[in-house]
């Protein structure tokens, strides 16, 4: 007994020491927590608040993009993200599993709905250690209808997260102007919507808005505490953007471009429609393009070529050369010059006209513009306006600076103006480069009484919550490079490019409307060299209508279409221009010009008269007269006397004596038939339209019963035939 007592005392002492140490450790820890409020570097107050407080994000709705009339172009819609829960711990009732119980069956069913192989889905569903998995892009942006169908399959562990999706109801619709939205992952594994390209990018901050939140207190199990106060910070939805684009006109442009794209398969097509009075862009289309919802086609064309890519404008530049000459009083339409080729300096390479430098002999400057003569433009700048003064006009027309249009990444071309030849070649659109939107801006001065308008694509910005207009864009005049009188005269001259006998723009005529415009053919460069070949050009047209008071400007460019002859480049370009311009004018209720009816009157009977007397009488009534025969008395006429005919009718008058063939060039088939009937020759024709050649030449005697063959061509065929492939880069025009 005496032996046990010392052992017990020693044990008690050890226990006392141990408990004393534990007590002091706990006391130190308690004091430390009281002083610092932290455990393992984490604030206890924050942990407690996190335990009992819950905060949920109220997501802001991205602003809607509308056209000028309130039609939706882009908007947010509800979508769903597919989630599969893999952890078995979420299942509390084995009869009602809450996790993926049969990965093989689940993968087979999901493969029916997802753009994903069954094997790839199975790999995700069997991912080791994962609590839940998603399915990337294939599992995002699921529609409500598809969600319902998948839920009907009753697959354990398959659930959905509600999300928003950017919806573009018009599909490929000015895609590069509008842009698209993509999801961007952020640090906490959440994603945000970010605008890419076009308005979606340029106005991303305004469209995005600000998320809100709801904050409430709960117990340990997440249940709302009695009398708990909720704190709600409402979301501020993104602002709505109203564009200047008109959905109807944009559709006209897309349809026309699509037809030409399929038929001619060009490398590139660009179309812009603008209101010259305000600078509003009413349509902007290009190919290749892409679908903003699916991104299909985006890999072929990342850039808005109309705003971001400078090009050689070709002969459309002659519009502004002509304007400068008229404004400087250096334009005399009737003055003659030698066409064909022109040396700027003694040692420079000659500038050539587009018909292999042959030219058309001594012609007027008016005819030179109609024929798109490079020599005419070069001489106007070098000998009339002066290169220094012309350089000032390039600045006045805005070619030195970007337009400032509300689209990202606007480029500005480069004016090559160092050497004497460069100072002249820019007059007809070669060497220097400009963007199509710069050409549109400059053209507004010609169409708008000399006032140049800044191009704009945004009309207004509106707060969707209040309907209040936050920012109303106003049309902006950015210069007046020419006077109203000059602008009118330029349009009148450009009108003859369409209607004139020698005009290169005949194929751009629109029935019922007067068009003013200029064709263009620009070289394509590759590795610093101009390409050769029948189709390796950028064919373009810059036109406005109605000529006397233009309501629309349309620019069309078609690059490297699938054609076998150079001169056919105008066909796809004119197809687009005419379709878009005519449809748009009619849609805007711009009525066709009322044409004055030609006077009609009875044709005088001139049989028995002297030929000179008969001719004078007929022409005094407004009829064209052709006398056949060298006799001194009229024997017959067609049409006959007292028949009512329109002013300008061709009257064939037959006299006694020997008859010779007249020059029938440009006669209609109907007029040739009159001659055949009067003279008794046998008529044969080839083609349709108007006479271009005759088998029996003018001046040859007419013999009754002989065969006369006439070749006829339409005005478009004659125009295309007049153009030939240029042999040298200096000769591109048209």
Which residues form the catalytic set?
A: 315
Separation of alpha carbons 626 and 276, rounded Å: 47
DSSP readout, 114-174?
SSS-HHHHHHHHT-TT-SEEE-GGGGSSB-HHHHHHHHTT--TTEEEEEEEEEE-TTSSSS
Rounded to whole angstroms, the Cα distance separating 523 from 529 reads 9
Which run of H or E residues covers position 258? helix 247-264
User: Distance between CA atoms of 119 and 107, rounded to whole angstroms?
Assistant: 7
Residue 306: which of 274, 278, 275 has the closest Cα?
Answer: 274
Please, where are the H alpha helices in 457-610? 484-499, 570-587
Compute φ and ψ for 378, nearest 5 degrees: -65, -45
**Cβ contact 377:427 at 8 Å:** yes
Q: Are 561 and 261 in contact (CB under 8 A)?
A: no
* Omega of the bond leading into 686 within 30 degrees of 0 (cis): no
Backbone angles phi, psi at 453, to 5 degrees: -105, 140
| Residue 544 tokens, joined | 């406005």
Question: What backbone phi and psi angles, to 5 degrees, belong to 635?
Answer: -95, -35
Cα(283)–Cα(272) distance, integer angstroms: 6
* DSSP per position, 610-637: -HHHHHHHHHHTT-EEEEESS-SSEEEE
Instruction: Provide the 10 A C-beta neighbour count for residue 330.
Output: 17
Q: How far apart are CA 432 and CA 632, in angstroms?
A: 64
Bridge partners of residue 182, in order along the sequence: 194
């Amino acid at each position: 007994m005496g032996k046990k007592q010392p052992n017990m005392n020693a044990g008690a002492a050890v226990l006392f020491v141990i408990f004393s140490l534990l007590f002091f450790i706990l006391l130190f820890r308690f004091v430390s927590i009281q002083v610092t409020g932290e455990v393992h570097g984490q604030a206890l107050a924050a942990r407690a608040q996190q335990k009992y407080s819950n905060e949920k994000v109220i997501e802001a709705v991205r602003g809607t993009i509308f056209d000028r009339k309130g039609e939706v172009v882009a908007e947010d819609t509800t979508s769903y993200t597919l989630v599969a829960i893999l952890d078995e711990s979420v299942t509390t009732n084995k009869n009602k599993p809450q996790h993926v119980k049969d990965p093989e069956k689940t993968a087979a069913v999901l493969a029916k709905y997802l753009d994903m192989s069954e094997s790839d889905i199975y790999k995700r569903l069997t991912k080791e250690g994962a609590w839940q998995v998603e399915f990337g892009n294939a599992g995002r942006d699921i529609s409500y209808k598809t969600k319902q169908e998948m839920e009907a399959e009753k697959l354990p562990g398959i659930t959905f997260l509600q999300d928003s999706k950017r919806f573009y109801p018009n599909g490929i619709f000015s895609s590069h102007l509008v842009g698209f939205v993509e999801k961007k992952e952020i640090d906490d594994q959440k994603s945000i919507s970010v605008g890419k390209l076009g308005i979606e990018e340029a106005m991303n901050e305004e469209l995005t808005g600000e998320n809100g939140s709801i904050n409430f207190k709960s117990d340990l199990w997440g249940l709302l505490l009695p009398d708990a106060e909720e704190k709600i910070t409402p979301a501020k939805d993104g602002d709505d953007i109203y564009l200047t684009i008109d959905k109807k006109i944009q559709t006209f442009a897309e349809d026309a471009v699509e037809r030409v794209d399929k038929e001619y398969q060009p490398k590139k097509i660009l179309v812009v429609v603008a209101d010259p009075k305000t600078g509003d862009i009413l349509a902007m289309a290009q190919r290749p393009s892409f679908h903003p919802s699916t991104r299909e086609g985006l890999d072929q064309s990342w850039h808005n070529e109309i705003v971001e890519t400078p090009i050689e404008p070709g002969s459309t530049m002659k519009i502004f050369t002509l304007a400068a000459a008229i404004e400087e009083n250096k334009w005399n339409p009737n003055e003659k010059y030698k066409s064909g080729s022109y040396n700027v300096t003694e040692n420079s390479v000659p500038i050539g006209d587009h018909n292999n430098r042959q030219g058309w002999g001594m012609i007027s400057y008016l005819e030179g513009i109609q024929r798109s003569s490079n020599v005419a433009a070069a001489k106007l700048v070098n000998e009339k306006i002066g290169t220094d003064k012309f350089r000032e006009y390039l600045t006045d027309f805005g070619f030195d600076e970007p337009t400032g249009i509300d689209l990202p990444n606007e480029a500005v071309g480069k004016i090559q103006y160092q050497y004497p030849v460069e100072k002249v070649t820019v007059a007809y659109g070669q060497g220097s480069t400009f963007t199509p939107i710069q050409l549109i801006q400059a053209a507004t001065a010609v169409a708008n009484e000399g006032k140049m308008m800044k191009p704009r694509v945004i009309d207004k910005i509106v707060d969707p919550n209040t309907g209040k207009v936050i920012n109303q864009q106003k049309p902006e005049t950015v210069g007046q490079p020419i006077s109203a009188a000059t602008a009118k005269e330029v349009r009148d001259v450009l009108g003859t490019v369409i209607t004139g006998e020698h005009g290169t723009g005949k194929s751009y005529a629109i029935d019922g409307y007067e068009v003013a415009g200029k064709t263009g053919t620009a070289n394509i460069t590759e590795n610093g060299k101009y390409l050769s070949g029948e189709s390796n050009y950028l064919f373009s047209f810059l036109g406005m209508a109605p000529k006397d008071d233009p309501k629309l400007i349309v620019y069309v460019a078609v690059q490297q279409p699938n054609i076998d002859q150079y001169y056919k480049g105008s066909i796809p370009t004119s197809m687009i221009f005419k379709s878009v311009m005519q449809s748009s004018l009619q849609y805007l209720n711009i009525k066709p010009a009322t044409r004055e009816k030609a006077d009609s009157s009875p044709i005088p009977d001139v049989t028995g008269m002297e030929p000179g007397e008969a001719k004078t009488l007929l022409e005094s009534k407004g009829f064209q007269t052709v006398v056949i025969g060298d006799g001194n008395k009229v024997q017959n006429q067609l049409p006959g006397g007292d028949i009512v005919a329109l002013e300008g009718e061709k009257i064939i008058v037959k006299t006694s004596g020997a008859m010779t063939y007249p020059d029938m060039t440009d006669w209609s088939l109907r007029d040739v038939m009159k001659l055949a009937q009067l003279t008794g020759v046998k008529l044969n024709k080839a083609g349709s339209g108007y006479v271009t050649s005759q088998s029996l030449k003018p001046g040859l005697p007419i013999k009754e019963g002989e065969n006369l063959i006439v070749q006829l061509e339409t005005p478009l065929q004659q125009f295309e035939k007049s153009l030939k492939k240029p042999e040298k880069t200096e000769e591109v025009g048209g």
